A and B are shown apart, each in its own frame.
Chain A
């Protein structure tokens, strides 16, 4: 549940797969909220969800001891997993094709924006690296764009890492920012002229989900979309090998 100053955060959790899938989980579950303090994951059961049902979680539904400056991670489990953990519980009972997702939403007084998202447990298990390429910056005329960078790791450590934002056309590092593991970091993005609108978001030692959030001054108009991992540019065949080769080529091209 990313949190943005001045806006309400909401997540719709659903307890059914999107597409009927053989063997998909079909039982009641318990809704959990978790957050890291850097040393441990604090996990709290915050409600139940019947099979086939959905539930809206807003900030008021978070546990009272959940600090305001953490990234609350929501998950469903058939069993209660309350307590303090040295690793975020990894669950695979909701693995489906397409992925089992939640609707993650930011709400102002007059509108809301969302995306269908999940944080794959496989991504949380690794440090990884990030390379994502998108043309989603909108600026000018009272519009600003920020990057919401979400990382979740099974290990509770909260580490600082460098994020580079690079022009794909010129390879110029446009901006550097500090991002943290197990946090949602908000990075205000500068204006981009047409020749440098295609931006590479790169981190050498941490993966995560880059989400572009554009809005006007009063949050009466808002737009939210995450950028693809580069592997989405390839279908079928040796996608993994091609993805690794592409990331290596870009890493060399934008090495600082």
Chain B
């Protein structure tokens, strides 16, 4: 059987094969490969900018990290999405080899506040070598959050391939997959040591999703449910205060999406923690 599967591999181990598996639900992949061979892939990183929060993105010349001997320049594009998933703006940056630039998001938002998401795509001639191997540059970098008045950025790295875009003004496409049934996700963490917590979900697929949340109390019992409809690339923050709203230890989510996991903020007396759930 395995020899048969191996011989058929050139047929199914392709971008089209990924999509057939995703569509049929037979061993659905978490991600499908981009259709464009020269596309770069990005996570969908949440941003928070308001009276309380600031966000920065650590913009790196990733092509030069992949091919250091070539010392390539990088033309990087930051694409900002609003909470409703619509594109707010696109910002292009020329990066010198090995450059790291901390980009604060607030000045790019032109007065928009609240929450949303961003993606980062790269372009450099040296990336043609990746395409020859069936690979794509992956932006899985570091996004930082800070409360106004604090000195310290708290970073979290990306953890889910979501979007792809070919160089130039190529169309943004999705590499996350929908599913024919609900998939359950339960972060391997407890929330009951914090005063409060936020779960930030950004819709990673190309269609609206209903996110069904179940809150679980410290004793393991059902402590509430919530359903949220979220447009494609839309972002929502689900907040809970353990001090005021009863103690929640765990949260599980269901959605017609093969993998959808939140960024977690936990709030303590003097500061906060952020990590991927």
Contacts and interface: CB of A to CB of B under 8 A. Distances in A.
B140 A111 contact: no
Interface in B232-262: 249-250, 259, 261
B157 A225 contact: yes
A25 interface: no
Contact of B134 (A111, A215, A237): A237
Nearest to A135: B100
A214 B152 contact: yes
* Chain B CB within 10 A, most for which of A100, A105, A216, A221: A221
A97 B30 contact: yes
A197 B161 CA distance: 26
Nearest to A196: B100
Top 9 nearest A-B pairs (CB, nearest first) are A237-B134, A237-B135, A110-B270, A198-B100, A235-B138, A111-B271, A238-B133, A111-B268, A135-B100
A143 interface: yes
Given A111-B268, A135-B102, A215-B152, 4 more contacts: A20-B183, A232-B138, A235-B31, A239-B135
A233 B66 contact: yes
Nearest to B40: A235
Nearest to A238: B133
Contacts of A116: 187-189, 275-277
A237 B133 CA distance: 6
Contact of B65 (A54, A100, A168, A224): A168
Given A101-B188, A228-B157, A222 B271 contact: yes
B130 A242 contact: yes
A233 B58 contact: no
A111 B147 CA distance: 14
A67 B169 CA distance: 59
Please report whether the interface of chain A is mostly helix, strand, loop or mixed according to DSSP.
mixed
A249 B71 CA distance: 12
A127 B265 CA distance: 35
What interface size band does chain A fall in? 35 or more
B272 A135 contact: no
A230 interface: yes
Interface of B: 30-31, 33, 41, 58, 60, 62, 65-69, 97-100, 102, 130, 133-138, 140, 142, 150-157, 159, 161, 175, 183-190, 193-194, 220, 249-250, 259, 261, 266, 268-273, 275-277
18 contacts: A12-B189, A18-B277, A54-B188, A98-B261, A101-B188, A103-B188, A114-B189, A133-B65, A143-B152, A220-B271, A221-B150, A222-B273, A225-B142, A233-B137, A237-B133, A242-B66, A246-B67, A250-B68
Contacts of A220: 270-271
B184 A234 contact: no
A155 B128 CA distance: 42
B200 to A, nearest CB: 15
Contacts of B31: 235-236
Contacts of A250: 68
A217 to B, nearest CB: 11
B189 A216 contact: no
A142 B151 contact: yes
A143 B151 contact: yes
A154 B186 CA distance: 30
A70 interface: no
A168 B134 contact: no
A168 B259 CA distance: 34
A214 B100 CA distance: 18
A153 B276 CA distance: 26
Given A221-B152, A234-B137, A54 B190 contact: yes
A102 interface: yes
A223 B270 contact: no
Contacts of B155: 136, 212, 223, 225
A198 B98 contact: yes
B187 A18 contact: yes
A169 B31 CA distance: 33
A250 B268 CA distance: 40
B69 A253 contact: yes
A114 B134 contact: no
A34 to B, nearest CB: 20
A5 B137 CA distance: 39
A225 B156 CA distance: 6
B275 A115 contact: yes
Given A220-B270, A220-B271, A54 B185 contact: no
Nearest to B276: A116
B10 to A, nearest CB: 14
